[in-house]
Structure 1
Amino acid sequence: MNLSARNQLKATVANVKKGAVNDEVSLRLADGTTLTSIITETSCENLGLKEGVEAYAVIKATNVMIGDCEDGGLKLSARNQLKGTVEAVKDGMVNCEVDLTLAGGEKVTSVITMASAKRLALAPGKEVRAIIKASDIMVGVKA
C-alpha cells in the first residue's frame, strides 16, 4: 500500500506498554533514536506489535512541528523531539514545506506556516528539532 503520508521511518519495536484502551509503542530507529507512539490496544494487537518486530512510524507532514534547538527555551510535553538539520525550505503563499535530515540520516518533511518559518529563520543548514506528539505517530507493518 502506498500512503500520502511522506514521513515513513523504518524502525524496530523496542517495547510495548499495554493499557486498557491505548498502548504505548516505543520504536527504535536505525541510529538508536526512540520514537513513542500511542495507538489503540486493538490496533497494536491486530498489527502483531511486540519487541523486535519491524515496523514503520508514519507521520503526516502537517503533524511535524519545528522548534529551535537553542537550550534554555520552552519545555514541551511532546515526547518526540528529534534533532535535525534543515535541508530545504519550499515557500508557498501561506505554508511552506521544510525538509529535514535527522541525526541518524532519516529524512522528515514538515509543513508549517510561512510566518513560523520566518520567525524561526529557517534556512538550509540550521539545526532544529522535529517535534511530534506521540498520538500523531501511526504505526504500520508490512503485510
Structure 2
Amino acid sequence: MISARNHFHGIVKEVRKGAVNAIVKLETAGGHKVSSTISLEAVEDLKLVEGKKACIFVKATEVMMANENLRISARNQWKGVIKEIKEGAVNAIVKLEIEEGVIISSTISMEAVKDLSLSVGSHAVAIVKSTSVMLGEEE
C-alpha cells in the first residue's frame, strides 16, 4: 500500500542517464506517455531498463489542472473528462478519467475549481512535472 492516490502500471520505453539523475520514459497500457526524473541510484536499485514493467506513483497534491493543453515545461499532460469533484472548505479533489477506468486525482483549491469553471462532465487536462513522478517495481 502507498498513500499516493495516482498509481499506474507502465513499460519502460527509455532511460536517459545524466551525471546524477535520469529521465525515465514509460508508456501505460492505454498508450499514455509518462516522464519521470529520478536519481541514477534509484534507476540502478530498481533495475530500470527498456522493456521492464514499472509502477508510476503521483501524489494528488502534485497534479495541476487546466482546461486546455499548455505549452509549458511540465512533460506529463493527460486530457480527460471530470468524473467527480469533492468540494471542501478550501480545497477540492478533482477526479479526471483519462481513459476507460483510469482516473487521475488532483487536490486543488476551490478558487482554482471556480476560476477554471471545472465541473463534472467537462474536459480538462491533468499536468504533472516529471520530478513529481515516483517509480516502483511491479510485484
Q: Give TM-score scaled by structure 1 length.
A: 0.93
What amino acid maps onto 1:110 in structure 2?
S
**SS of equivalent residue, structure 1 residue 125:** coil
Partner of 1:125: 121
2:98 corresponds to which letter in structure 1? L
Q: Which amino acid aligns with 1:119?
A: D
How many residue pairs match? The answer is 139
Once superposed, what is the RMSD of the aligned Cα atoms?
1.3
The alignment partner of 1:43 has SS state of helix
Q: Distance in 2 between matches of 1:98 and 1:32?
A: 22
Cα distance change, pair 20–104 in 1 and its aligned pair in 2 (3 A): farther
Matched letter for residue 3 of structure 1: I
Residue number in structure 1 paired with 2:109: 113
1:13 corresponds in structure 2 to 12
| Alignment of 1:103 onto 2:102 | no
Paired position in structure 2 for 1:75: 71
How far apart are the structure 2 equivalents of 1:85 and 1:64?
A: 15
Partner of 1:89: 85
Q: Deviations over 1:67-94 (max 9, x none)?
A: 112x6xx521101111111000000010
> Relative to 1, partners in 2 of residues 1:52 and 1:6: Cα closer, same or farther, differing over 3 Å?
same
Q: Give 5+ residue unaligned stretches, structure 2.
A: none
**3-state SS of the aligned residue for 1:3?**
coil
After superposition, give the CA deviation of every residue in 1:96-136 in whole Å (9 maximum; x if it has no partner): 00011003642110000000001111111111110000000
State the alpha-carbon separation in 1 of the partners of residues 92 and 81 from structure 2. Answer: 16
| Structure 1: segments with no counterpart, 5+ residues | none
d(CA) in 2 for partners of 1:12 and 1:53?
6
Q: Which has the higher strand share?
A: 2
Identity value in percent: 40
Q: 2: distance between equivalents of 1:31 and 1:104?
A: 9
In structure 1, C-alpha distance between the alignment counterparts of 2:83 and 2:130, rounded to whole Å = 24
Give the Cα separation in 2 of the matches to 1:132 and 1:49. Answer: 21
Q: Cα distance 1:104–1:42, how it changes in 2: closer, same or farther (>3 A)? A: farther
Q: Which amino acid in the other structure matches residue 136 of structure 1?
A: S
For 1:92, give the aligned amino acid. G
